[in-house]
Amino acid sequence: MEESTRSASPKVEVIIVGVFFLIFTFWAFKKCSNTRTQFIEKEQREKQYKAEQDSINRMLQAKRRQDSLSAQGASASRQPSSGESLSRLYVTIAGLKMRKSPELNAEVIEELPLFDEVFYLNEVTAFTQEINLGKAMANEPWVKIQTRRGRAGWVFGAGVNYYKKKNPYAD
């Protein structure tokens, strides 16, 4: 009887070690998968941040260009000539209101649909305004744009971007 117990003991040990190895293997795969997912999410956040920074830098460069033209005596409210190329922007907030002047109580000219293509007219207000977008507050200047139909007006800066993407803070 003692001999049958001895021969069963190594088998039980092998089974226990095997189960431990399987559990460890499943844990390791899950841990690696979670780490990879976190790495991918971090990369996506960094790309989005860089794209937003690029967009802000482009708008600032355009503002500086417009300021230098104004300093040289160019009219601040001029319309671009037919040969002049305009920067393309996209509406990032569904139902973005284009207004006659850069203020919230100004007359609404048109409501723009999400991802509508508009053109930046090289005018940005010198001031910023804080507006609640629904999920967050945004403190941005007003930007003068022209629609594809030729209508010009002012929109809140957080409502347009150089990239076709929805503003994550808007309702």
* pLDDT value for 152: 94
Comparing CA positions, the residue from 54, 48, 56, 87 lying closest to residue 168 is 48
Half-sphere exposure at residue 67, Cβ-oriented, CA atoms within 13 angstroms = 9
Which CATH number do you get for residue 120?
Answer: 2.30.30.40
Copy the structure tokens of residue 163: 């990239």
In a domain, 166, yes or no: no
Our count of domains for the chain comes to 1
Beta-bridge partner residues of 124 = 143
30 SS3 class: helix
In a domain, 19, yes or no: no
In a domain, 155, yes or no: yes
* pLDDT value for 77: 43
Residue 74 has pLDDT above 60, yes or no: no
In a domain, 133, yes or no: yes
Copy the structure tokens of residue 121: 């007219």
In a domain, 55, yes or no: no
* pLDDT value for 11: 84
In a domain, 145, yes or no: yes
In a domain, 8, yes or no: no
Domain range for 143: 86-161
Burial call 89-103: b when 16+ CB within 10 Å, e when fewer: bbbbbbebbbbeebe
- 133 band by pLDDT with thresholds 50, 70 and 90: confident
Half-sphere exposure at residue 75, Cβ-oriented, CA atoms within 13 angstroms = 4
pTM of this structure: 0.54
Token pair 């999410």 is at which residue?
Answer: 41
Question: What is the CA angle 170-145-122, rounded to 5?
Answer: 115
In a domain, 42, yes or no: no
Copy the structure tokens of residue 136: 């967050």
